[in-house]
Amino acid sequence: MLKDLQQKKKQIAVVGLGYVGLPVALAFARKFRVIGYDIDPDRITMLQRAEDPSRAVSPDAFADVDITFTANPDVLKQAHFFIITVPTPVDEYKVPDLKPLHLASEQVGNVLKSGDYVIYESTVYPGCTEEDCLPILEKQSGLKLGLDFRLGYSPERINPGDKERTLTTILKVVSGSDDVASQVIREVYGSIVQAGIYVAPTIRVAEAAKVIENVQRDLNISLMNELAIIFDKLKIDTHEVIKAASTKWNFLSFTPGLVGGHCIGVDPYYLLHKARQVGYDPQVIHSGRRINDGMPVYIATKLVQMLLQSKKHARQAKVLVMGLTFKENIADIRNSKVADLVRELMKYAINVHIVDPYASPNEVAQEYRLTLMDKPSAQYDAVVVAVGHDEYKTLEVPYFKSLMNESPILLDLKGLYNVAKEDQITYWRL
């Protein structure tokens, strides 16, 4: 397979061109012929103009690549090595939504040929690739695993906004349906990944390894969030506690905050779902999720209390929220817990203004039915800095005071600022 790909006798197809799929497609297209497929024709039109709709990939990354962008599934017939990188969200009940994965499996199954390889990168629960996706591939193609085609799983490790740890510089985990599959998949990915390849013994191990990476982070942050709630009641600065505890060599330094996005805030629900399917109801994982999902309510309640203490009524208050994306310096608003915070504030009839230098106003309106302002106005009763964008890190107390009326209140959810008593501003951070 590798030799045919190198000689461009065969092609790679990347199915799903979002934050994960596009970097994968472009990296392979620097060495091989690649078909970049997505069901969204508007996205394809932008990619054909060397524009990333997510604004995560620069136009320079589209130079010197051998890639065909298409929304026509028939073009996939030309490929022999398929990489599926579609989203795996949860629904409103926090249950895994596998519809994108099933659709991608159907489309690949329709064009699957003898000798082909199918590799999934989408984050799933252990067993999903072989129990949920494989039957679709076999049904649609009429082919059989092992006899006609081979299967693999290679968990994505794309970190949006990270310019240092990129696809080619992060150790890549791969797995295959048999030893031959594992070796071929290792060779293909190894041709672009400089950091090395780790071959997991089974697909289920690779799936589980991916999902617990984010479960572990979720639990660590949930612990810090719970500690922040306790320390707030004790009138102790959580960040100062963490700073002191970090002097011990084996202390793991995590900080409290809103946990959103399409990874840490979603992946634990996939493991919870699978665990319950096999008769076990996880306690620790579920507890961590409950704490992190409850932080928007906690912060909104805290702000309302601070407004009342400053003799300001919530129904007459105007609050500025700075930052809506799920993390700093990116445009991704998926599963934004800041949006949840805004909604909680609105339940108190607070007039909320939102600004963000990265988020798309159209996407915010479509996804959350919220309005993104071009810039702040003035006479706010409080300002909430919710995301640690670089543009916000250099701001100082006089700037925030200039935006507010009497008895200014600043909520610093990322712990970006050092505020002294003489600054005459009510300051709070997680």
Q: Which residues are catalytic?
A: 263
Distance separating alpha carbons of residues 159 and 57, to the nearest angstrom = 12
Separation of alpha carbons 280 and 33, rounded Å: 45
Element holding 429 (H helix, E strand): strand 426-429
Q: Give me the residue label for tokens 């690649």.
A: 34
Q: Residue 50, Cβ neighbours under 10 Å: how many?
A: 15
The DSSP-derived string for 5-53 is: HHTTSSEEEEE--STTHHHHHHHHHTTS-EEEE-S-HHHHHHHHTT--T
Amino acid at 379: Q
At 380, give phi and psi (nearest 5°).
Answer: -80, 150
**Up-side HSE of residue 233: CA atoms within 13 Å toward CB?**
6
Task: Give 265-310 as a DSSP string.
Answer: TTHHHHHHHHHHHTT---SHHHHHHHHHHTHHHHHHHHHHHHHHHT
| DSSP 8-state class, residue 164 | S
Full strand arrangement of the beta sheet holding 150-153: 67-70, 34-37, 11-15, 79-84, 117-120, 150-153, 172-176, 197-199
Where is 426: in which H helix or E strand? strand 426-429
Determine the 3-state secondary structure of 84 from DSSP. Answer: strand
What crossing angle do the helices spanning 337-347 and 361-368 adopt, rounded to 10°?
60
Q: What is the DSSP string of 345-389?
A: HHHTT-EEEEE-SSS-HHHHHHHH--PPPSS--S-EEEEEE-S--
